[in-house]
Amino acid sequence: MDTRDKAAIDHVATIVSPQMDAGIESRFVQTLKLNLGSEIELRNLSGDRAEFAADAELGLMTPKAAAALQSGLCEQFSGLADCAVLPSDGRRKRLLVSDMDSTVIGQECLDELADFAGVKAEVAAITERAMAGELDFEGALTERVAMLKGLGLAALEECYASRIGLNPGVRTLVATMKANGARTVLVSGGFTYFTSRVARDAGFEGHRGNTLVDDTAALTGEVGRPILGREAKLTALREETAALGVELSDSITLGDGANDLAMIEASGLGIAYRAKPIVAEKARAAIQVTPLTTALYYQGYSASEFVEG
């Protein structure tokens, strides 16, 4: 987390638990009272939904103090709830830019595709290291795609139909932000064959990804250039904000791997979704145990405002 000490601004603390739990609510209030030395008034966000979500206005805090409080809350409620302490001003963002693999969907498309070529274990091992930041993304991508050379194109459709599924809450996240005037874009180091279909199914208005090269019958083992990696994701974020005429602070980003870090750190609200440690450490907030609708609660939306996609 960025803990550089700056001028104090108003902050709000948000907690989201997978299920209603009076004990969690009570502990959250008591922790805030102990830290702030004043009474806390919770605003219920989840209404009659199965999960519990609430926030509380904290008043003036420096970013350093807010980050320390968030860290303590996340540690206290680890495995039970997701927590964030964020600025009160400008909570609702006008642009959503999200990673695809292991963020919007629960799989890594390349790993699943590799299973059809009989090389899933080898490819998945490289994917894991690349997403943890241990390998150069471009080199790791070209190495993995080369292992798919000769795979028939029919495998792509079979892979998407039988292996790929949206993560819980993504349709509601996208539909709600769109209904409130935000633009939604999928930006992936994966492939346009999949990003186009995931964007359609999840409701995203735009998508960007890499291109698998084929000879009309099978994959050639090559990736179209230039490769969309870490810096290209940041460029996409900047281009989308510029096209909308908004600031980077008006954007929210979601991702799980090292190639998402640049856009996560540059956006107004960068969220690590069930992410690798290197990403969770540097993102402004995280979602570990709850659905993607938590990104709406972090922006101050209540469940009564959700639009089901």
pLDDT of residue 2: 42
Q: Does 198 share its domain with 63? A: no
What's the domain count of the chain? 2
Long-range contacts of 32-38 (CB under 8 A, 24+ apart): 32/56, 32/58, 35/69, 35/72
Pair 267, 237: CB distance under 8 Å: yes
CA nearest neighbour of 292 among 182, 206, 160, 175: 175
The CATH number of residue 61's host domain is 3.30.70.260
Query: What are the tens digits of pLDDT across the range 96-127?
Result: 999 999 999 999 999 999 999 999 999 999 99
Instruction: Report the C-alpha gap between 175 and 182 in whole angstroms.
Output: 9
pLDDT of residue 5: 56
Q: Does 63 share its domain with 161? A: no
Average pLDDT (288-299) is: 98
Q: Does 70 share its domain with 168? A: no
Q: Is the peptide bond before 291 cis (omega within 30 degrees of 0)?
A: no
Average pLDDT (2-13) is: 76
Instruction: Report the C-alpha gap between 205 and 118 in whole angstroms.
Output: 34
Query: What are the tens digits of pLDDT across the range 161-205?
Result: 999 999 999 999 999 999 999 999 999 999 999 999 999 999 999
Domain-ending residue, one of 74, 89, 104: 89
Q: Does 98 share its domain with 82? A: no
Half-sphere exposure of 42 (CA within 13 A, CB side): 21
Q: Does 32 share its domain with 159? A: no
Pair 95, 246: CB distance under 8 Å: yes
Pair 35, 69: CB distance under 8 Å: yes
What percentage of the chain carries pLDDT values higher than 70? Answer: 98
CA nearest neighbour of 255 among 230, 289, 226, 224: 230
Angle between the N-to-C axes of helices 120-131 and 109-116, in degrees from 0 to 180, rounded to the nearest 10: 170
Determine the residue type at 136. Answer: D
Residues linked to residue 15 through DSSP beta bridges, in sequence order: 54, 83
Q: Does 35 share its domain with 99? A: no
Instruction: Give the position of tokens 């964020």.
Output: 86
Pair 243, 95: CB distance under 8 Å: no
Residues belonging to the active site: 99, 101
Query: What are the tens digits of pLDDT across the range 39-90?
Result: 889 999 999 999 999 999 999 999 999 999 999 999 999 999 999 999 999 9
- Environment class of residue 282 by beta-carbon count within 10 Å: exposed (0-12), middle (13-18) or buried (19+)? middle
pLDDT band at 159; cut points 50, 70, 90:
very high
**Is residue 4 predicted with pLDDT exceeding 90?**
no
Query: What are the tens digits of pLDDT across the range 228-256?
Result: 999 999 999 999 999 999 999 999 999 99
Instruction: Report the C-alpha gap between 207 and 205 in whole angstroms.
Output: 7
Domain-ending residue, one of 89, 121, 146: 89
Q: What is the pTM of this model?
A: 0.95
Q: Does 195 share its domain with 58? A: no
Q: Does 57 share its domain with 124? A: no
- Domain extent for 197: 93-309
Q: State how beta strands 52-61 and 9-17 pair.
A: antiparallel
Q: Does 80 share its domain with 138? A: no
pLDDT band at 38; cut points 50, 70, 90:
confident
CA diameter of the chain: 68
pLDDT band at 14; cut points 50, 70, 90:
very high
Q: Does 188 share its domain with 66? A: no
pLDDT band at 93; cut points 50, 70, 90:
very high
The CATH number of residue 298's host domain is 3.40.50.1000
What distances in angstroms separate CA 235 from CA 130, 224, 240, 264, one per listed residue? 20, 18, 9, 12
Domain-ending residue, one of 89, 122, 153: 89
pLDDT of residue 166: 98
Three-class DSSP category at 76: helix
Q: What is the mean pLDDT of the chain?
A: 95
Instruction: Report the C-alpha gap between 56 and 15 in whole angstroms.
Output: 9
Q: Does 71 share its domain with 141? A: no
Q: Does 159 share its domain with 72? A: no
